[in-house]
Amino acid sequence: MRLHDLKPRPGAKHRKKRLGQGESSGRGKTSGRGGKGQSARSGSSIRIGFEGGQMPLIRRIPKRGFNNKRFKVAFVPVNLSDLNTFEAGSVVDVAALQQAGLANGTYDGIKVLGRGELTQKLTVRAHAFSATARAAIEKLGGTAEVVS
C-alpha cells in the first residue's frame, strides 16, 4: 500500500450543499430560507429566544421558588464494617480514613453510619455519627468524638 492508495472511508465525504442551483436541485429559488422577511436576508441572525420585540417567554413566566442546594453540607459516608480494617485500640481520625482510602473526593465532613458490625474497640473522630453507629462504638468500649 502506498500513499496514493489511501482513500477516506465510504460515507466519510459529503458533497457541499450548493444552494440556488435551480428548482430540481431541491435547494433552488429561496435556497432553503423560506419566503421574505428578516431571516431571508443575508447577514441575518436573531438571538435565541428573540420574539420580534414581544416580551420573551422566559421573561413572561413568573420566577418562583428557592433552592437550598448551595448551602448543603456534603458528608462522606463511612460504615462501621469499614472501620474493621483498623487495629484494635487505634485512633481513627480524618487523616487515617483518607490514608485507608475510605474518604476520597471533595466533602465538608465525614459521617460514620451504623451499617455492618464493628468487632474491635476504637476511638473514632469524625464530623458526625448516626445514633446506631455511636451506640455500636460505645458498646465495645470505644469512643465517638465529634470533630468540628
Annotate 45-84 with DSSP letters as a single string.
---TT--TTSPPHHHHSPP-----GGGPPPEEEEEGGGGG
Q: What is the pLDDT of residues 27-86, one digit of tens each?
A: 999 999 999 998 899 998 889 999 999 999 999 999 999 888 889 999 999 999 999 999
97 domain residue, yes or no: yes
127, pLDDT greater than 90: yes
Distance (Å, whole) CA 45 – CA 22: 25
pTM for the model stands at 0.56
106, pLDDT greater than 90: no
58 domain residue, yes or no: no
Structural domain count of the chain: 1
The mean pLDDT of the chain is 92
CATH (domain of 106): 3.100.10.10
119 domain residue, yes or no: yes
Distance (Å, whole) CA 79 – CA 61: 46
Q: How does strand 75-79 pair with strand 109-113?
A: parallel
pLDDT of residue 99: 93
92, pLDDT greater than 90: yes
Distance (Å, whole) CA 102 – CA 113: 13
